[in-house]
Amino acid sequence: MKEYQTYNAGLERKRRGFYTTIFRLSVQALLLVTLLFFAVLLVFRWAPIPTSAFIYQQNYLAKKSPEIHEKASYEWVDWDNISPQLAIAVIASEDQRFPTHWGVDTIELKKALNSSRKNGPRGASTITQQLAKNLFLWGGRSYTRKALEATMSVAIEMVWPKKRILEVYLNVAQFGDAIFGAKEASQQLFDIKAKNLSREQAAMLAAVLPKPAISNVNDPRPALKKRQQWILKQMKQLGGLNYLKQLE
């Protein structure tokens, strides 16, 4: 009997030791990933962003099925060479509390949760959350991705100032089927430089953000024109370009 109890006690110690080792290794791996993530954020607080998860995915699809998908068009452009009209248009369209939240807009999140109970899922992603998704994650809807998106958004807000967040977002956001960033969108869709975008053109680019792959700024559907007009109205109500002073 004693030998049996001793044997079971030994097995229990080994089991606890195994779980302890797994837990310790998991914590160490999580800390390492976190440190690496913050290191990447620190580097790209100043350096141009060479690519993103969505751009990589677009290029992968183009390589796999070139008869269906185009290679991503993308080139970085600095803040000073992007029209401020596009900056205010995107804020008006996507995230009007952008200057004041810490990555997650709790007010919009509560509205989305209440709406979801009545009408099904409703988005409440901030610009920072969309940036986190575009840079590091994947499309589609899942609680896992949303949790990672929210966590990364808070980390981004801790390391990057608001102006940098918006600069990177304007560079990696998708404005067409395979068109990423303000520079390529301005050149390919309007044949002008990004810094020369008019108020109306900026509002049209912001209008396509929810569905860039199927929207055509040069032959917009009535719904897209209506959204553009709504964005123009919101830009004016926010105070126009003066609103951007909150980012400085």
- Integer angstrom CA distances of residue 12 from 19, 20, 36: 11, 12, 36
Task: Output the furthest CA–CA distance in the chain (Å, rounded).
Answer: 87
pLDDT digits (tens), the chain, 248 positions: 555 455 455 556 667 767 788 878 888 888 998 999 999 999 999 999 999 999 999 999 999 999 999 999 999 999 999 999 999 999 999 999 999 999 988 887 666 555 444 444 335 689 999 999 999 999 888 889 999 999 999 999 999 999 999 999 999 999 999 999 999 999 999 999 999 999 999 999 999 999 998 898 988 999 999 999 999 999 999 999 999 988 87
Predicted local confidence at residue 156, as pLDDT: 97
Q: In CATH, which superfamily holds the domain spanning 50-247? A: Biosynthetic peptidoglycan transglycosylase-like (1.10.3810.10)
Task: Kindly report, residue by residue over 164-185, the tens digit of the pLDDT.
Answer: 999 999 999 999 999 999 999 9
Predicted local confidence at residue 142, as pLDDT: 84
3 state SS of 101 = coil
3-state helix vs strand vs coil in the chain, percent to 5:
70, 0, 30
- End-to-end, the C-alpha distance of the chain in Å comes to 75
Predicted local confidence at residue 106, as pLDDT: 81
Query: Which amino acid type is present at position 228?
Result: Q
Task: Collect all residues with Cβ–Cβ distance below 8 Å to 9 and sequence separation of at least 6.
Answer: none
- Rounded CA separation 26/207 (Å): 43
Domain boundaries, the chain: 1-43, 50-247
3 state SS of 179 = strand
